[in-house]
Amino acid sequence: MNQKKPTNLSELTKAEIAKWLNSFDTVLTDCDGVLWHEGVAIDGVPEAITLLKSLGKEVYFVTNNGIKTGREIWKRATSCGYEIDESRIIAPIQAIAEYLQARNFTKKVYIIGAEAIRNGLAAAGIESFGPGPEVLQGKLNDFIAQQVATQAADDVGAVVVGFDEHFTFAKMLKASNYICSNPDCLFMTTNLDTVHRYPEYRIPGTGALLAALETCVERKALQFGKPNPEICQELIKSGKVVPARTLMIGDVCKVDVLFGYNCGFQTLLVGTGHNSIYELNEVLQNPIENPAFIPDYFVPSLGDITKLI
Ligand SMILES: [Mg+2]
């Protein structure tokens, strides 16, 4: 059985690297773990992006970050030394706002998630509520009478779930009732990321919070992050991105590599994520079960490519 294994770019000759560089025109890259860590650029990577652009590659940044608006991510990119147009940032909050705008959405949005979602929606003229702490106070029936029944169900036209440090039973109770009391209520999420900072810690991701809500409402949310290939369908339809000539760069096999696979892109995993090497070894142990998670290429850091060319 021919088992897929990633090609390590560091082991290629200069001629092979040149051939590989000629195999794509467009680059989509994840941000956190590839371009920067906690707001600090990863060594040599801004130079690598500049080099790719100087070779004529069209570069897009694509993130699952649901706690920053597209503009905030763009500002972070700029402060880290990346020159990129704001329109080249593909981010969930922006995608959700555009989805609602395209449907002439005029109701309110209930948010389980960060303040950035409210800000992103407000910038698009969409009213929302929910971010911040909220706990069940007093008796359950009193809370239902005061907090759930008072917000007319048809007033809330969408529930958006993102990463929320203040996730509680009270929020789940509200969201479930908004979703189920109105069959037209949209149910959306910024991403399905299950865990952060693993294996150092296990910080529950949006996908973990969402699973609780999906179980309760017996519905699946529309998701606006990787690995959903829908998030770049507009770029593909317009011809700006040609899948066979596109490279996806990421640090997480089960999100970034799977996204590239779903879109028909070639994929490059970098080893600069918290979990990249650990996860790669894990998926390589089951190549038959995990073909969609195995990248075509691997490089310890994207910064290395300046030395390889
Ligand atoms: Mg990442």
CATH number, domain of 103, equals 3.40.50.1000
C-alpha count within 13 angstroms, C-beta hemisphere, residue 107? 17
On whether residue 219 sits in a domain, the answer given is yes
3-class secondary structure per residue, 152-203: CHHHEEEEEECCCCCCCHHHHHHHHHHHHHCCCCEEEECCCCCEECCCCCCE
pLDDT of 151: 66
226 is an annotated ligand-binding site residue: yes
Q: What is the pLDDT of residue 239?
A: 96
- Across the range 240-269, mean pLDDT stands at 97
Task: Establish if 107 belongs to a structural domain.
Answer: yes
Residue 304 among known ligand-binding residues = no
> Distance from the CA of 61 to the center of ligand 1, in angstroms?
11
State yes or no: 25 annotated in a binding site: no
Q: Give domain status of residue 273, yes or no.
A: no
| Pairing, β 222-223 against β 297-299 | unpaired
List, for residues 174-200, the tens digit of each pLDDT value: 999 999 988 899 999 999 999 988 878
Q: With respect to residue 67, please indicate whether it lies within any of the assigned structural domains.
A: no
Quote the number of domains for the chain. 1
Residue 1: band (very low, low, confident or very high) from pLDDT cuts 50, 70, 90: very low
Ligand 1 center to 256 CA (angstroms) = 8
pLDDT of residue 150: 67
Confidence class of residue 154 from pLDDT cuts 50, 70 and 90? low
pLDDT for res 24:
98
The residues carrying an active-site annotation are: 30, 32
What distance in angstroms lies between residue 147's CA and the mean position of ligand 1's atoms?
37
What's the pLDDT score for residue 153? 63
pLDDT score at 2:
53
Residue 58 lies in a domain: no
Instruction: Using the mean position of ligand 1's atoms as its centre, give its distance from the Cα of residue 44 in Å.
Output: 17
- Say if residue 196 carries a ligand binding annotation: yes
* Residue 161, in any domain of the structure: yes
Residue 164 lies in a domain: yes
Q: Report if residue 237 sits inside a domain.
A: no
Determine the distance separating the centroid of ligand 1 and the alpha carbon of 104, expressed in angstroms: 32
32 annotated to a ligand binding site: yes
Mean pLDDT along residues 143-159 = 81
Residue 65 CA to ligand 1 center (angstroms) comes to 9
Closest CA to 303 of 9, 70, 4, 56: 9
**Parent domain of 130:** 93-223
- Write out pLDDT tens, residues 257-308: 999 999 999 999 999 998 899 999 999 998 888 889 999 999 999 999 999 9
Mean pLDDT of all residues in 169-175 = 96
Select the highest-mean-pLDDT range: 138-152, 211-225, 270-284: 211-225
Greatest CA separation found in the chain? 71
Q: How far is the CA of 264 from the centre of ligand 1 (A)?
A: 19
Average pLDDT, the chain: 94
